[in-house]
Amino acid sequence: MAQEIFKSAHPVLLANMNKGTVLPLSVAVHQAGGYASLCSWTYEDNLQFMQSDLEKFISITGSTQINLSFESSLIHEPKKVLDMIKTFNIPTIEVIYGVHPSSVDWLSMDKTELDNKIRAALAPIHDMGVKIFKRIFEPHTPEQMQHHFLDGLLIKGADSAGVGNPKYTVKEFFIKQKKLTPDAYLVPYGGVGTAAQVKEYIDLGAETVGIGTLFAASQESMLKHETKLAMVSANSKDLGTFSIPKDYDNDQKRQLGLKFGEFQEPDNFNHTKSLISGIWKKNAQKGHVFAGHGIDHITGIQSCDTIIKNLTAGM
């Protein structure tokens, strides 16, 4: 089953990272033989800016093989999302709802109303033959997948950056989900940093393997140099957690990341101000970067090409 959908030279998918998945990194991953992504979070769900970078990606690479992630814009501007996917013949999209409210107040919206809006937005995308993946934090049944037109699931566990299921590691969650939905396309989304892990997941039936933390510390990443150096020096024992409110699709209350001092200023639901301070603001001694246990395998600030070669050595 491996790489039936995410067709690239290597079974490596650039995991979408809030503020971390940007155009230069996506281009570099594609050119290194991985599968690129762009994330609506990075653009604060401004689809005009996202489309501009998508057009640049296609112009530079000559390819539309890219995974687009949509969150609140999925139901706030469903026609614009649909038009972007249709115009550029995008083969795969990733959806996540209930974690990052942005322009839609998920927490106060009636659950049935929100569910109906999600289904209405996804139905025409599914009808076009686009493959729909959802980032999940709890096991999903075949009925749940069918209800939201899902072809595959992105598995996030206790060792994933940001939000993940604290009860299972990614591997434990992956195996559990595989038993529930043996025919679904599954992608481990976090905690991976070695060629042995990539091979093990492919042997277990993964469609591809999502890599975020290693790419966040790459040469082509837009993270500031001080943060990359901190990631090189750190390991998973240095990671801390942030609390988040209970939401529509996830009753877990923690995000995993590397903190740089306490962020005292008022922040938003998804700790975005702290994140921006930690990854972009020069010489800031506060903030954080979301990171998972892949941080144990960062040995230096390497190119995406080197990272992918290391992850797929011997395959």
According to the 3-state scheme, what is the secondary structure of the chain?
CCCCCCCCCCCEEECCCCCCCCHHHHHHHHHCCCEEEEEHHHHCCCHHHHHHHHHHHHHHHCCCCEEEEECCHHHHCHHHHHHHHHHCCCCEEEECCCCCCCCCCCCCCCHHHHHHHHHHHHHHHHHCCCEEEEEECCCCCHHHHHHCCCCEEEECECCCCEECECCCCHHHHHHHHHHHCCCCEEEEECCCCCHHHHHHHHHCCCCCEEECHHHHCCCCCCCCHHHHHHHHHCCHHHCEEECCCCCCCCCCCCEEEEECCCCCCCCCCCCHHHHHHHHCCCCCCCCEEECCHHHHHCCCCCCHHHHHHHHCCCC
Distance CA 50, CA 43 (A): 6
Biggest alpha carbon–alpha carbon distance for the chain: 50
40 near 99, Cβ under 8 Å?
Answer: no
Q: Are residues 187 and 146 in the same domain?
A: yes
Give the number of residues written for the chain. 315
In a 13 Å sphere around the CA of 273, the CA atoms on its Cβ side amount to 8
Q: Are residues 101 and 37 in the same domain?
A: yes
In a domain, 4, yes or no: no
In a domain, 235, yes or no: yes
Please give the chain's pLDDT, 315 residues, in tens: 467 899 999 999 999 998 999 999 999 999 999 999 999 989 988 999 999 999 999 999 999 999 999 987 888 889 999 999 999 999 999 998 654 444 445 556 677 888 888 899 999 999 999 999 999 989 999 999 999 999 999 999 999 999 888 899 999 999 999 999 999 999 999 999 999 999 999 999 999 999 999 999 999 999 999 999 999 999 999 999 887 766 555 555 678 999 998 777 767 767 888 888 999 887 767 899 999 999 999 999 999 999 999 999 988
How many structural domains does the chain have? 2
Q: Are residues 200 and 240 in the same domain?
A: no
Q: Are residues 57 and 118 in the same domain?
A: yes
In a domain, 163, yes or no: yes
CA 225 and chain centroid, separation: 22
Q: Are residues 306 and 179 in the same domain?
A: yes
Distance CA 201, CA 68 (A): 23
Distance CA 96, CA 75 (A): 11
Domain around 195: 12-222+301-311
Distance CA 216, CA 34 (A): 15
In this prediction the pTM is 0.93
Q: Are residues 190 and 244 in the same domain?
A: no
Q: Are residues 264 and 201 in the same domain?
A: no
Q: Are residues 206 and 60 in the same domain?
A: yes
Q: Are residues 184 and 279 in the same domain?
A: no
Q: Are residues 16 and 155 in the same domain?
A: yes
